[in-house]
Amino acid sequence: MISLKKVAAFALTAGCLVLAGATVDAHAARTRTVTDLTGKKVRIPTHVKRVADLWHANNQVVLLLGGQQKLVATTPLIKHQPWFKRVDPGITKVVAPFAGQEIQVETLIKTHPDVVIAADPAQVKVARQAKLPTVNASYQDFAGLKKSVNLTAAVLGGSAPAVAKQYTQLLNHNINLVQKNLTGVKSRPTVLHIVSATDLTKVDGTKTIVNEWIRLAGGKNAVTKEGNQITVTSEEIVKANPAVIIVGQATTSQARAVVRKDATLRHLPAVKHNRVYGNPTGTFPWDRYSAEEALQVLWAAKLLHSQAMKDVNLVQETKHFYKTFYHYNLTTKQAQQILAGK
> What's the pLDDT tens digit per position in 193-220?
999 999 999 999 999 999 999 999 999 9
Mean pLDDT computed over every residue of the chain: 93
Residues 6+ apart with CB under 8 A from 128: 134
d(CA 95, CA 76): 9
> What is the reported pLDDT for 5?
52
Amino acid at 157: G
Q: pLDDT tens, 216-254?
A: 999 999 999 999 999 999 999 999 999 999 999 999 999
- Provide mean pLDDT across the span 51-80: 97
Residue 281: DSSP 8-state:
B
Q: Is the pLDDT of residue 173 over 50?
A: yes
Q: Is the pLDDT of residue 41 over 50?
A: yes
> What is the reported pLDDT for 9?
47
Residue 285: DSSP 8-state:
B
Sheet (strand 51-53) strand order: 71-73, 51-53, 115-118, 134-136
- Provide mean pLDDT across the span 143-158: 98
> Is the pTM higher than 0.85?
yes
> What is the reported pLDDT for 29?
64
Distances (CA, A) of 290 to 105, 144, 274, 294, 298: 27, 11, 27, 8, 14
Q: pLDDT tens, 258-307?
A: 999 999 999 999 999 999 999 999 999 999 999 999 999 999 999 999 99
Distances (CA, A) of 6 to 10, 11, 15, 20: 6, 8, 14, 21
Q: pLDDT tens, 121-140?
A: 999 999 999 999 999 999 99
Collapsing DSSP to helix, strand or coil, 218 comes out as: coil
- Give the whole-number percent of the chain exceeding pLDDT 70: 92
